[in-house]
Amino acid sequence: MHFIGIFASNVVFQNIRKHIMKMLKRNNLEFININASNIENMRNITFETIVLSNQINMSTPQKDFVNQICNHCKYVIINSDICTGTQIVPDKMVNCITYGLNQKSTITISSIQNDKAIIYLQRNIKNIEENEMEMGEISINLKEYEQVSIEDLLAIFSIYFIYKQEND
d(CA 23, CA 102): 25
CATH number for 2-100+147-163: choose from 3.30.390.10, 3.40.50.2300, 2.40.50.140, 3.30.200.190. Answer: 3.40.50.2300
Q: Is 151 helix (H, G, I), strand (E, B) or coil?
A: helix
- Long-range contacts of range 24-31, CB-CB < 8 Å, 24 or more positions apart? 24/160, 24/163, 24/164, 24/165, 24/168, 25/165, 25/167, 25/168, 26/2, 26/163, 26/165, 28/1, 28/2, 29/1, 29/2, 29/4, 29/163, 30/1, 30/2, 30/3, 30/4, 31/4, 31/6
Residues in the chain, pLDDT under 50: 84-86
Classify 73 as helix, strand or coil: coil
Contact by Cβ (8 Å): 135, 107: no
Q: In whole angstroms, what is the distance from residue 98 CA to residue 59 CA?
A: 24
DSSP letter, residue 129:
T
